[in-house]
Chain A
C-alpha cells in the first residue's frame, strides 16, 4: 500500500473536491483524498432543494446534483480517494493517520495537507436553553439528514429556533412531508436566512416568523411536550408577559455552525477567535507551512459556490507550495475588522507570495446596512471607498485589492470598516 503522497486532502465535500481537482489541474498528480462518509459530496447530499450553483454554473442545481458534478470531475481525473475512511490525526511532520475497514489503521506521509472537514451544528449546550431535557430537541441539519437520506420524519408538530437557512428549509421540508410547523423564533430583529427562503419556505405555508423572540422554556418529562417563547429587549433579555406556548413534539435548532477543526490540535496552528477557523494567508495556508484549510472548516459559508472557489484557491496554493514556488515568508499585512465588520478572512496577506493580480478579502458585516460605504485602509491610508447599496450579515461580502498596491506599501495592517451615511 502506498504511504507517501505529495498531497493529502481531508474531507470530500465541496471544499475538498474543489481543492483536489484544482491541485491536480495545477500539476500535482500524486493526491489522496480521504472522506469519512460512504459517498463523496459532504453536506450537500442532504440539501435536496435547488438554488445551488448560480455563480459556478449559471444554473440552479440541487445539492446532490452540484456534488455529483464535482465528484465526477475528481473521478475523471483518476484522483485517488477513499470513502468510509476517517482521519484520526495529523502530526506536526504532516503524517496523516486514518482508519477504514479495508486498510485498518494507516499512517501516510504527505508533503502538503489540505483540511476540508466542514463544520458542526451548534447544539443546545452551546446556547444554554433553559428547561427540561426531554427527547425531541434536535439540530435542523441532523433532522435534514434523517429525512432526506434515511427517510425518517423526526416529528409531527414542530417549532424551530433560529431563522438561518437550514431552519427555514426544514420548515418547508417537514411541512411538505405532513408535519405541522407552528413557528420560527429568531432572537435578532432580522432573519439570518435568505429572503427567498423566508418567502418560499415560511410565507408560502403561512408559518409565522417571530423576530426578536427566543425560547425561554422547554417542557417535557421524557418527550418534549411544550416550548415557551418570549419577546426579547435590546439586550436580548426576555420581556415578562410576552410569553407564548406551543404544544410540540419537536424543537429544531438552527442556531449556527462551528468549524470542525479538531484535527489541527496536534499541529499547533492558531485559530481565529471569531470564526474558529485556522489563521490563514490569502493562499489559505495556515501558520504551519504546507498545511492549508478551506470551506466550512475555515469559516462558515452559506453558499456552496464560494466554498468551491475557496477550495480551488487552497488547491492552487498547495500546488504552488509543492512545486517549490513559494518564496520564503517575508512581510505580512494583518487584516483588521473595524466598526460594522465582524471578521475578515484571510487573517494576513503573505506579501512575498501573492499569486494573482488581485487579493480577495472576504468579510461579514455585523448587522444589515443600507446605503453605506466600505472603507479599506492600509495603515492610515485609505485605498478603497466603495458605495454599498445593501449588505446583510447572512451574506458573505468580498473586496479585491490590487497586488501592486500591496507590494508598494510598507503598511502593517489592512483595515475594513463600514461608514454610514
Chain B
C-alpha cells in the first residue's frame, strides 16, 4: 500500500494504491493521472543558486529550463555547485548548457548588473 497526496487542486486528496495498482480516495479523475505519473516518472523543476562575483550579492538564483527526473536532482545539484559566474548576468541567461546531457539547461532567474 502506498499513499499519495494529489496536488493538482487545493483539495489535496489522499490517494492510496494497493499492490494490484487499484486506487482509492481520489476526488476526481485528475488524481488518477497524477498518481500514475508519480509512480512511473516523477519530474520536478529544480531551483537553486550559483556563486556570483558581484558588488551586491553572493548568489545568483537559477532554475532548470524544464522538469528533470526526481532521481537526478542531487546529481544536478552537484553540477550547479561547481559553477561560479561573474556579473553582469541577465535574466534567463544560460548558466549551464545541457546539464549532464539531460537535455535541460540551467538558467538565471535574476538580472545582476554589477
Contact = CB atoms under 8 A, between A and B. Distances in A.
B48 A65 contact: no
B59 A199 contact: no
Contacts of A150: 57-59
Contacts of B47: 48-50, 62
Given A62-B109, A148-B61, A149-B57, A395 B10 contact: yes
A38 B10 contact: no
B102 interface: no
A62 B91 CA distance: 11
A63 B47 CA distance: 11
Contacts of A152: 58
Interface string A25-65: 00000000000001100000100111000000000101111
Interface in B50-95: 51, 56-59, 61-63, 70, 73-74, 77, 91
Contact of B49 (A60, A68, A151, A198): A151
Given A45-B110, A151-B49, A195 B7 contact: yes
A65 B58 contact: no
A1 interface: no
A392 B11 CA distance: 9
A195 B91 contact: no
B77 A176 contact: yes
Nearest to A151: B58
B98 to A, nearest CB: 20
B5 A195 contact: yes
Contact of A48 (B7, B61, B73, B74): B61
B10 A199 contact: no
Contacts of A3: none
Interface in A123-155: 147-152
A176 B91 CA distance: 23
Nearest to B77: A176
Contacts of B63: 50, 62
A102 interface: no
A64 B48 CA distance: 12
A148 B12 contact: no
A298 B34 CA distance: 37
A115 B45 CA distance: 35
Contacts of B51: 151
A199 B110 contact: no
A38 B55 CA distance: 11
Contact of A62 (B5, B11, B12, B61): B61
Contacts of B5: 195, 198-199, 203
B33 interface: no
A164 to B, nearest CB: 16
A148 B109 contact: no
Contacts of B74: 176
Residue from A65, A196, A204 whose CB has the most chain B CB atoms within 10 Å: A65
B91 A390 contact: no
B111 interface: yes
Interface string B19-46: 0000000000000000000000000111
Nearest to B56: A38
B9 to A, nearest CB: 9
A196 B44 CA distance: 11
A410 interface: no
Given A49-B47, A149-B59, A392 B111 contact: no
Interface in A371-418: 389-390, 392, 395
A200 B111 contact: no
A64 B110 contact: yes
A176 B48 CA distance: 8
B94 to A, nearest CB: 15
Contacts of B56: 38-39
Contacts of A63: 61
B7 A65 contact: no
Contact of B10 (A39, A65, A173, A195): A195
A48 B11 CA distance: 26
A199 B110 CA distance: 27
Nearest to A391: B10
A211 to B, nearest CB: 13
Contacts of B77: 176-177
Interface string A159-195: 0000000000000010011000000000000000011
B61 A68 contact: no
A84 B51 CA distance: 24
6 contacts: A45-B110, A64-B61, A151-B58, A195-B12, A198-B5, A200-B44
Closest 5 CB pairs of A and B: A195-B12, A64-B110, A48-B61, A151-B58, A196-B7
Interface of A: 38-39, 45, 48-50, 60, 62-65, 68, 147-152, 173, 176-177, 194-196, 198-200, 203-204, 389-390, 392, 395
Interface of B: 4-7, 10-12, 44-49, 51, 56-59, 61-63, 70, 73-74, 77, 91, 109-111
